[in-house]
C-alpha cells in the first residue's frame, strides 16, 4: 500500500466516484472527504465541513497534511480555494478563482473563446437601456437562448420559443445581475468532453453524454443530470480530432501560458452539428456530475497519479491508458425532484455485496441515528455499470437499480437511448 493521503471536497455522486477511484489506487493510504455522504463514509473519512467554508477546508488540509486536495464542485474554486491552498504549497486539483470564471461567468468564458478563436454561439450582452426587442428579432429564427452571467446552480439558462418568456427572463436577469447574455441557438447533439490539463499538457477523457431533462424522451424540467453514458458515439474519431484542433489545443495554449496555468479538469460542453462540427456550449471547471461517475472507471491508469500530476504541472510525463469498455449510470431521484425534493426517507435494498461490473454511487445520502441510510438530496444515488457493450452496461445498471427501494423516487428508463 502507498503512503499518499488525499482530501476530496464535496458530498455528491461525483465525489463518491472520486473517493472510489482514489481509494483503489495502490499509491493512496488515506482518503478524506468533506462533507461526504453515506457512500464515501464506507471508503474514506468524512469530515463535517461545508464546501463553502474555505477557511476550514484549508485548515483541515493543513492539519491532515494531505498530498493532494481534489475539488469536486465549482463553488469553492470560484471562492478561491485553489489560490489559498497554493499559498501553503498544497497541491490542488482545480483552477484558481480567476480561471474558475470560465464557469462562474458566461461572459468571461465568451471573451476567452473569442480571444483564442474557439467556435461558440454569437451573442449580445444586454443591460439597462438595451433594445431587447431588436436583439430578440435578430435571433428570432430559432428558440431564444438566455444566459445569466452568474453561478446559478443549473438555473441560469433559459432556452425557449416563447418570446415573452425570453423577454421576462432577460428583464429579471438585468434587474438582479445588471446584465445578461442573449445567445444564438445552436442546433445539434450535445456531448461532454472532460479534459484534464495543467501547464505541461492535457489528456482528453472519453466523451460522454448526460441526460438533463427529468423524464423519459428528454421531457420535463431541467435537472443536474439524470444519467449518463460513455463513450458517446456522436464524438467519432473525426469529431474528436476537430474538438482537439479547434477547441482544446487553443484553450490549452492560452491556459498554459498564464503565470498560474489551469490545473484541473476542464469540462467542455459541446454542441455537434449534423455535419460533425463542434461548438462550445459551456465550460465547467470541474468534473460533471454524473459524467464523472462513468468516465473515471474507464481510466486504466492510476487516477491518483493523474490528478496529482495535473496539480503539479507534470501531466505531460504520463501516458494515460483507457479500457475499451462502455459505462452507464442511472440517477435515482427523490420524489418531487427537481422542484421540491422530499428528503429524509429510508433507502432499502442497498447491497453491501460486491457486484461484478455494477456499483452504487451515493449522492444525497446520509445515516440516521439508527444507522439506516436515508435520502438527503434531490439526486439520491445512481447505479453505474460497465460492460463490453453499452447494452450490457445499461442492463447491469438497471438490474442494480431495480433492487433499491425509496418511496416516491423516480428515474429515467431511457438512459443511453441516443446510442442504443
Ligand atoms: P449551459 O448552462 O450553458 O450548459 O446551458 C444549459 C443547456 O442549455 C445546455 O446543456 C443546452 O442544452 C442548452 N443550450 C445552451 N446554450 C445553447 C445554445 N447556444 N444553443 C442551443 N442550446 C443551448
Ligand atoms: N451534468 C452536468 C454538469 O455537471 O454540469
Q: Do domains 4-97 and 122-183 have the same CATH topology?
A: no
| pLDDT confidence of residue 353 | 66
- Ligand number nearest to the C-alpha of 280: 1
pTM of the model: 0.96
| CB distance 291 to ligand 2 below 6 Å | yes
**Residue 325 in contact with residue 388, Cβ under 8 Å?**
yes
| pLDDT confidence of residue 418 | 84
Ligand 2 nearest atom to the CA of residue 286, by list position: 4
382 contact partners, CB below 8 Å, separation of at least 6: 13, 227, 290, 293, 329, 330, 331, 332, 360, 361, 363
Q: What is the CATH number of domain 4-97?
A: 3.40.50.20
- Ligand number nearest to the C-alpha of 222: 1
User: Consecutive 10-residue runs of the chain (420 residues): their mean pLDDT?
Assistant: 95 98 98 98 97 98 98 98 98 98 95 98 95 95 94 86 96 96 96 98 98 95 95 97 98 98 98 96 97 98 98 98 98 97 95 80 96 96 98 96 96 93
Per-residue pLDDT of 85-107, as tens digits, reads 999 999 999 999 999 999 999 99
In degrees rounded to 5, what are phi and psi of residue 379?
-90, 110
Q: Which grid coordinates are listed for 124?
A: 449580445
| CB distance 282 to ligand 1 below 6 Å | yes
Q: What is the DSSP string of 137-160?
A: HHTTTS-EEEEESS--TT-SEEEE
Give CA–CA dist 192/153, Å, rounded.
Answer: 18
Ligand 1 centroid distance, CA of 223 (Å)? 13
Give CA–CA dist 40/297, Å, rounded.
Answer: 16
| CB distance 299 to ligand 1 below 6 Å | no
Ligand 1 nearest atom to the CA of residue 121, by list position: 19
| pLDDT confidence of residue 1 | 77
Nearest CA to ligand 2 atom 2: 288
| pLDDT confidence of residue 351 | 74
Give CA–CA dist 207/327, Å, rounded.
Answer: 11
| pLDDT confidence of residue 392 | 97
Give the three-state DSSP class for 237. Answer: helix
Give CA–CA dist 371/287, Å, rounded.
Answer: 30
122-183 topology per CATH: Dna Ligase; domain 1 (3.30.1490)
Ligand 1 centroid distance, CA of 372 (Å)? 39
- Beta-bridge partner residues of 82: none
Nearest CA to ligand 2 atom 5: 288
Structural element, H or E, at residue 108: helix 106-116
Give CA–CA dist 344/377, Å, rounded.
Answer: 8
Sketch the domain layout of the chain as residue ranges.
4-97, 122-183
| pLDDT confidence of residue 352 | 66
Number of Cβ atoms within 10 Å of the Cβ of 1: 9
Q: Which grid coordinates are listed for 216?
A: 423519459
| CB distance 74 to ligand 2 below 6 Å | no
Give CA–CA dist 411/341, Å, rounded.
Answer: 13
| CB distance 157 to ligand 1 below 6 Å | yes
Give the three-state DSSP class for 169. Answer: helix
| pLDDT confidence of residue 354 | 64
Mutate which of 226, 291, 361 to test ligand 2's pocket (most atoms within 8 Å of Cβ)?
A: 291
Q: What is the mean pLDDT of the chain?
A: 96
Amino acid at each position: 500500500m502507498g503512503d499518499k493521503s488525499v482530501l476530496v471536497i464535496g458530498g455528491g455522486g461525483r465525489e463518491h466516484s472520486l473517493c472510489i477511484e482514489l481509494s483503489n489506487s495502490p499509491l493512496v493510504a488515506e482518503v478524506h472527504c468533506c462533507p461526504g455522504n453515506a457512500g464515501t463514509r464506507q471508503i474514506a473519512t468524512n469530515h463535517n465541513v461545508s464546501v463553502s467554508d474555505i477557511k476550514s477546508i484549508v485548515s483541515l488540509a493543513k492539519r491532515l497534511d494531505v498530498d493532494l486536495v481534489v475539488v469536486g464542485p465549482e463553488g469553492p474554486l470560484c471562492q478561491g480555494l485553489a489560490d489559498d491552498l497554493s499559498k501553503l504549497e498544497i497541491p490542488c486539483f482545480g483552477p484558481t478563482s480567476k480561471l474558475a470564471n470560465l464557469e462562474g461567468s458566461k461572459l468571461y468564458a465568451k471573451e476567452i473563446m473569442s480571444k483564442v478563436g474557439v467556435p461558440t454561439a454569437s451573442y449580445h450582452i444586454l443591460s439597462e437601456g438595451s433594445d431587447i426587442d431588436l436583439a430578440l428579432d435578430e435571433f428570432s429564427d430559432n428558440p431564444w437562448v438566455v444566459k445569466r452571467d452568474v453561478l446559478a446552480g443549473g438555473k441560469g439558462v433559459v432556452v425557449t420559443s416563447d418570446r415573452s418568456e425570453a423577454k421576462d427572463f432577460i428583464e429579471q436577469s438585468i434587474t438582479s445581475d445588471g446584465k445578461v447574455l442573449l445567445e444564438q441557438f445552436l442546433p445539434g447533439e450535445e456531448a461532454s468532453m472532460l479534459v484534464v490539463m495543467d501547464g505541461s499538457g492535457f489528456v482528453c477523457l472519453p466523451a460522454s453524454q448526460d441526460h438533463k431533462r427529468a423524464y423519459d424522451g428528454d421531457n420535463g424540467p431541467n435537472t443536474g443530470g439524470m444519467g449518463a453514458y460513455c463513450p458517446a458515439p456522436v464524438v467519432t474519431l473525426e469529431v474528436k480530432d476537430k474538438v482537439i484542433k479547434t477547441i482544446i489545443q487553443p484553450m490549452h495554449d492560452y491556459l498554459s501560458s498564464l503565470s498560474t496555468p489551469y490545473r484541473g479538469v476542464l469540462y467542455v460542453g459541446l454542441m455537434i452539428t449534423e455535419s460533425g462540427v463542434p461548438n462550445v456550449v459551456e465550460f465547467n471547471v470541474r468534473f460533471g456530475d454524473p459524467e464523472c461517475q462513468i468516465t473515471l472507471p474507464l481510466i486504466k491508469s492510476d487516477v491518483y497519479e493523474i490528478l496529482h500530476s495535473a496539480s503539479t504541472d507534470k501531466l505531460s510525463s504520463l501516458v494515460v491508458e483507457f479500457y475499451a469498455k462502455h459505462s452507464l449510470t442511472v440517477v435515482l431521484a427523490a420524489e418531487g425532484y427537481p422542484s421540491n425534493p422530499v428528503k429524509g426517507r429510508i433507502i432499502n435494498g442497498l447491497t453491501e455485496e460486491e457486484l461484478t461490473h455494477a456499483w452504487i454511487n451515493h449522492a444525497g445520502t446520509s445515516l440516521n441515528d439508527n444507522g439506516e441510510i436515508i435520502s438527503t438530496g434531490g439526486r439520491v444515488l445512481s447505479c453505474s455499470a460497465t460492460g463490453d457493450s453499452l447494452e450490457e452496461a445499461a442492463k447491469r445498471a438497471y438490474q442494480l437499480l431495480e433492487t433499491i427501494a425509496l418511496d416516491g423516487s423516480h428515474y429515467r428508463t431511457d438512459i443511453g437511448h441516443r446510442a442504443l
